[in-house]
Amino acid sequence: MSHVADDPRIIEFDVRTDEMLVNMGPQHPSTHGVLRLVLRTDGEVVSEVEPHIGYLHRCAEKIGENLTARQWIPYTDRMDYLAAMNMNLGWALAVEKLMKYQVSEKARHLRVLIAELGRIASHLVGMGAYGLDLGTFSPFLYAFREREKILDLFEEACGARLTYSYITVGGLTADLPPGWLGRCEAFLDQFEPIIKEYHALLTTNAIFVKRTANIGVMSRDLAIEYGCSGPVLRGSGVDQDMRRDGEAIYTAMYDGYAFEVAVMKDGHYPRDHEYPPVPADAVLGDCWHRFFVRMLEVVQSMDLVRQSIDRYSACKGPLGEPLKLAEKIPAGDAYLETEAPKGQMGFYLVSDGSAIPWRVRARSSSFSNLAVAPELCRGCLIADVPAIVGSLDIVMGEIDR
């Protein structure tokens, strides 16, 4: 006992907290799989976040060097397993780009139909799980109820509920069963009015807005520098969507389809007269905007599904057979990015002329989206870390590959 302060204020002033390392994950429920975050905290304030990834690493790229292009399709399923259809599509198109192959008109419209349904299913999980991150359970149940119906449709079309391998190199593995389009339309009719419920549950919910508005604000330049994409990029106000801005082979798929990129322009979102106004506290690039962009994309994808149903049913003739399992790929390399629900999914393929690719590469959107998390979390509160990481809507299967 060297010194005892007489004035209690001095003692209070003297109390210091040490820096502490807190481990979040790899089994933390709010880390969306097996992500480990090491937080350096001073009291409640996070000074540094370091994500540790790789717990789900299978080196899918190495596996791809030992299989033919079509045989690798099931491995793409296991990347973003919440939007496996979109992963299949990305790889199939990248191979078709190198082969300069064009699928039939009917297959093209069916691909749009399936990919947009996949986007709705993925965003529903994104929305529901984000509610879970912030401590509300009900939206998750609502979201999964509707997602279940999409999975039922997918199961009817291809037999699987999670890992579809439906879209494949040169087309699709099978045509739709009879009556499927009617059931799909019935689902859309039932789903459309429900969107309003979601907005009441989350978008305009006072607690939800308090937890997300003005939290984790990402500037436009930061998003671009980190190579962020998808709703994360558009939530920061960058008007970019590969369905419109991508390469010809991909944008040709959406030729003739009417849709508007879900991004804020002049302070307005497309069709924002139908939906709740942006809360006063929210600023562009925060968690709320990233979430809202996904909600708008669900509506937009529903539109696209309706358009593709009309076009698909107008197409006469057969769907066309996919390419052979061991089809030879011409020598060369090709890279293609597609707009998957989580962001731009890129596939790179190098071929030496045989059926087995020399090198395959999957550029994951969640990988780049997660890389920006340490920047967003600097100086935030511990409770905001799940809010920020959740708003990026990552899937570890895609990050770790």
Partner 1 sequence: MRGPGFLEQLDEALPGAVVGRNLEAIDPWVEIAPERIADVCGWLNSRSPVRFDSLQCMTVVDWCEPDPKKAAKVSWQPHLELVYHLWSTASRVSLVLKAKVPRWKGDVPGQLPEVPSLCGVWRGADWHEREVYDLSGVWFTGHPNLRRILCPEDWEGYPLRKDYEQPLEYHGIRGR
For position 334 contacting partner 1 by CB under 8 A, the verdict is: yes
Question: Closest distance between partner 1 and the C-beta of residue 350, in Å?
Answer: 5
Residue 117 or 336: the one with the smaller Cβ distance to partner 1 is 336
304 lies in the site for partner 1, by CB under 8 A: no
Torsion, Cα of 278, 282, 283, 285 (10° steps): -90
Q: Residue 333 interacts with partner 1 (CB under 8 A)?
A: yes
At 391, list the tokens.
């708003």
Q: Which residue among 148, 225, 274, 310 contacts partner 1 (CB under 8 A)?
A: 225
Q: How many residues does the chain have?
A: 401
Q: How far is CA 325 from CA 86, 166, 243, in A?
A: 20, 14, 28
Report d(CA 205, CA 142) in Å as an integer. Answer: 15
The residue (of 191 and 367) whose beta carbon lies closer to partner 1 is 367
Query: Which whole-number Å values give the CA distances from 247 to 97, 243, 335, 338, in the listed order?
Result: 10, 9, 10, 9
Kindly tell me which residue out of 335, 355, 381, 382 binds partner 1, with binding defined by CB under 8 A: 335
Which is nearer to partner 1, 45 or 350 (by Cβ)?
Answer: 350
Give the residue with the Cβ less far from partner 1, 67 or 334.
Answer: 334
361 in contact with partner 1 (CB under 8 A)? yes
Span interacting with partner 1, options 145-153, 278-286, 371-379, 381-389, rule CB under 8 A: 371-379
Binding of residue 57 to partner 1 (CB under 8 A): yes
The contact mask relative to partner 1 for 174-213 (x = CB under 8 A, - = no) is: ----------------------------------------
What are the backbone angles phi and psi of residue 248, rounded to the nearest 5°? -55, -40
Burial 60-80 (b: 16+ CB within 10 A, else e): bbeebeebbbbbbbbbbbbbb
Pick the closest to residue 154 from 169, 172, 138, 129 (CA basis): 172
Question: Considering only 188-196, 240-248, 276-284, 299-307, which stretch makes contact with partner 1 by CB under 8 A?
Answer: 240-248
Does 398 bind partner 1 (CB under 8 A)? Our answer is no
Q: Cα–Cα distance between 343 and 159 in angstroms, integer?
A: 27
Please select the residue that binds partner 1; options are 70, 97, 123, 234, rule is CB under 8 A.
97
Q: Which of 105, 175, 245, 272 is in the footprint of partner 1 by CB under 8 A?
A: 245
Query: Which stretch in 27-35, 37-45, 312-320, 340-348 sits in contact with partner 1 by CB under 8 A?
Result: 340-348
**Residue 98 interacts with partner 1 (CB under 8 A): yes or no:** yes
C-alpha atoms less than 13 angstroms from C-alpha of 285 in its C-beta half-sphere: 15
Using CB under 8 A, pick the residue from 226, 254, 275, 312 that binds partner 1: 226
Consecutive H or E run containing 89: helix 84-99
160, 181, 188, 350: residue in contact with partner 1 (rule CB under 8 A):
350
Strand-pair partners of 338 = 345
For position 54 contacting partner 1 by CB under 8 A, the verdict is yes
Given candidates 26, 28, 38, 61, which one binds partner 1 under the rule CB under 8 A? 61
Instruction: Select 176 or 372, whichever has its Cβ closest to partner 1.
Output: 372
Rounded Cα distance between 360 and 316, Å, is 36
Tokens of 384: 């905001």
What's the rounded Cα separation, in Å, for the pair 90 and 86?
Answer: 6
Nearest distance in Å: CB 54, partner 1: 4
Distance (Å, rounded) from C-alpha 14 to C-alpha 332? 67
How far apart CA 312 and CA 306 sit, in angstroms, is: 10
- According to DSSP, residue 52 is labeled E
Q: Which of 81, 257, 259, 358 binds partner 1 (CB under 8 A)?
A: 358
Footprint of partner 1 (CB under 8 A): 53-54, 57, 59, 61-62, 97-98, 100, 221, 224-227, 238, 240, 245, 247, 332-335, 337, 344, 346, 348, 350, 358-359, 361, 363, 367-368, 371-372, 375, 400-401
